[in-house]
Amino acid sequence: MTEKELRRALLGLDSARLATTVPDARDITRKVLERDRRRVRRLTVLTIALWATAAAGIVLSLFALLAFHPAKPSSMRDDEKGRVTATERDRIDEVHWMVMEKTTAVVAISVAVLALAALGTVFLVFASRTATIRQVNATLVEISEQLKRLQQDGPS
């Protein structure tokens, strides 16, 4: 019996076939369950990293907008009063538009990362659910085998 068939047997609770065809079923079961644990851990780490990256991008964008955006109206007032030269005004405009472009790019990337984080969360839920079902089914197979042994030994 291959590992794929064992997974199907664990999901379907096919304990009779599992017990009769695979003498080392416990080893294979343990390997499958350990691989499920590793998969859930990896997905958890990846999902948390994606959510943190997206949140950091949004916070960075908000900080940039709040920190640099007020410079534009004050520079416009200074320009009206004649305090700012044309080169300074051009430099301020250049910095302002550069910040806006970079902030827009970071927001767009953060939205994409948020979508990936949401997708990762869905995959994590399904992987966790599958691992839990396999774990429960493996435990039920063990309990079934123990009950069969108890019935064969007879009541004591």
Q: Within a domain: residue 20?
A: yes
CATH number at residue 96: 1.10.287
Residues 36/131, Cβ–Cβ less than 8 Å = yes
CA 69 to chain centre: 34
Structural domain for 7, as ranges: 3-151
CA 10 to chain centre: 26
pLDDT at 149 over 70: yes
Q: What pTM, to 2 d.p., does this model score?
A: 0.67
Residues 6/29, Cβ–Cβ less than 8 Å = yes
pLDDT at 47 over 90: yes
| pLDDT tens digits, 85-127 | 778 778 877 888 888 888 999 999 999 999 999 999 999 999 9
Helix (H, G, I), strand (E, B) or coil at 69: coil
Q: Within a domain: residue 29?
A: yes
Please tell me what DSSP assigns to residue 128. Answer: H
Range with lowest mean pLDDT among 2-6, 33-37, 104-108, 134-138: 2-6
Q: Within a domain: residue 156?
A: no
Q: Within a domain: residue 78?
A: yes
Q: Total domain count for the chain? A: 1
CA distances from 90 to 38, 77, 99 (A): 55, 15, 14
